[in-house]
């Protein structure tokens, strides 16, 4: 099997910032209430004329530039998203055309907030087995279009953005050491968008009035406990598989769901928050895009250096959870 590694990263955050103070004007809430419960101070909003593939295009182009790879050299595009431009064709198909990746095959992966790790794991197998050489993995979400803006419990959490990575064969001593993905369909109703699928088709006035086409979170307290447990287990699995400990890890880059969840994971793992990369205060929860955005930031701000061990971890709707351990 070939050794596979990330050779370039990129990200894109829309220009428009929606702060907690802006939300105070439309909701019965406050900056203090939101920050205390979530750690979020602001989030980004895509323009009305931007679709998920537009955000993905910018992030993808930046990752390709970082990798020194031309769009024509990309053979595989895997896009993680729960907010594609259209259900048919896939968001990755739109992205392929916009990038001019004329030699690539493209498809979407739907795994909610764990989507980037799922996409990374899928693409890794194609490179390992020699079927493709260069793959572009992109996670892109416009979560603000899935929200009920009268529900102060949920609409405060989410933002828009995209992150990307280029993977290919690399020399021994670096690269992806392992990926681990899991799901539990029995818990799928805890984070749910009921409308829009075959169950509620066609869309009707009644389904819209019932807000079936917005994101619902059920049993937040129980979800918190499950998220902390699965997050920690995913980290421990990657370490056990590679015979390593947290002392060997330079930085943990988790899905940015909620600051209290990240603190709970750190406590469960008995690790300092200094080792956990956090940017949720600036961007909120961008579902599958949070991990690659944070990874790109960490690579560009010097947090990650060549040779460092980097642990990615996520938990999301489905339920899904997973991890990836990388020698940078």
Residue 113 annotated to the active site? yes
- How far does Cα 115 stand from its chain's mean position? 6
Tokens of 318: 């489905």
The catalytic position among 20, 93, 113, 134 is: 113
Q: Rounded to an integer, what is the distance from CA 299 to the centroid of its chain?
A: 16
Active site residue 255: yes
Decide: 293 and 161 in contact? Cβ < 8 Å.
yes
Which one of 20, 93, 258, 285 is the catalytic residue?
285
The catalytically annotated residue of 20, 155, 255, 258 is: 255
Contact assessment for residue 91 and residue 111, using Cβ atoms and an 8 Å cutoff:
no
Decide: 44 and 14 in contact? Cβ < 8 Å: yes
Q: Which of 305, 137, 315 is nearest to 326 (CA)?
A: 305
In sequence order, which ranges of 25-114 are alpha helices (DSSP H)? 31-38, 52-67, 91-99
Query: Rounded to an integer, what distance in angstroms lies between the CA atom of residue 60 and that of residue 104?
Result: 13
**Is residue 88 among the annotated active site residues?**
no
CB atoms within 10 A of CB 185: 9
* Six-digit token string for 104: 């690539």
Q: Which residues, 6+ apart, have CB-to-CB distance to 44 below 8 Å?
A: 13, 14, 15, 16, 17, 18, 159, 160, 161, 283, 284
Q: How much is the CA Rg of the chain, to the nearest whole Å?
A: 19
Taking the C-alpha atoms of residue 145 and residue 147, their distance in angstroms, rounded to an integer, is 6
Residue 13 makes CB contacts below 8 A (sequence gap 6+) with: 44, 160, 161, 283, 293
Enumerate the active-site residues.
113, 255, 285
């Amino acid at each position: 099997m070939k050794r596979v590694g990330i050779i370039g990263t990129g990200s894109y955050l829309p220009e428009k910032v929606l702060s907690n103070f802006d939300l105070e004007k439309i909701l019965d809430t406050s900056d203090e209430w939101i920050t205390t419960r979530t750690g979020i101070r602001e989030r980004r909003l895509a323009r009305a004329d931007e679709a998920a593939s537009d955000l993905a295009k910018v992030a993808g182009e930046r990752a390709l530039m970082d990798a020194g790879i031309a769009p024509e050299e990309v053979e595989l595009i895997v896009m993680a998203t729960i907010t594609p431009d259209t259900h048919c064709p896939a968001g990755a198909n739109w992205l392929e055309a916009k990038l001019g990746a004329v030699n690539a095959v493209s498809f979407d992966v739907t795994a909610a907030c764990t989507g980037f790790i799922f996409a990374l794991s899928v693409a890794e197998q194609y490179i390992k087995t020699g079927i493709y050489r260069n793959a572009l993995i992109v996670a892109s979400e416009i979560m603000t279009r899935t929200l009920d803006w009268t529900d102060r419990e949920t609409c405060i959490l989410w933002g828009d953005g995209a992150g990307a990575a280029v993977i290919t064969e690399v020399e021994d001593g670096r690269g992806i050491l392992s990926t681990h993905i899991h799901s539990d369909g029995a818990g799928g109703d805890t984070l749910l968008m009921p409308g829009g699928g075959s169950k509620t088709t066609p869309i009707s006035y009644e389904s819209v009035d019932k807000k079936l086409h917005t994101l619902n979170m059920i049993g937040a307290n129980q979800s918190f406990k499950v998220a902390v447990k699965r997050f920690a287990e995913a980290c421990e699995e990657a370490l056990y598989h590679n015979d390593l400990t947290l002392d060997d890890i330079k930085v943990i880059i988790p899905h940015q769901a909620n600051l209290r969840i990240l603190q709970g994971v750190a406590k469960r793992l008995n690790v300092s928050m200094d080792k956990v990369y956090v940017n949720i205060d600036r961007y909120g929860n961008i579902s599958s895009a949070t991990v690659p955005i944070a990874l790109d930031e960490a690579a560009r701000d010097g947090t990650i250096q060549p040779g460092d061990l980097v642990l990615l971890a996520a938990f999301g709707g489905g339920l899904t959870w997973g991890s990836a351990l990388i020698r940078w």
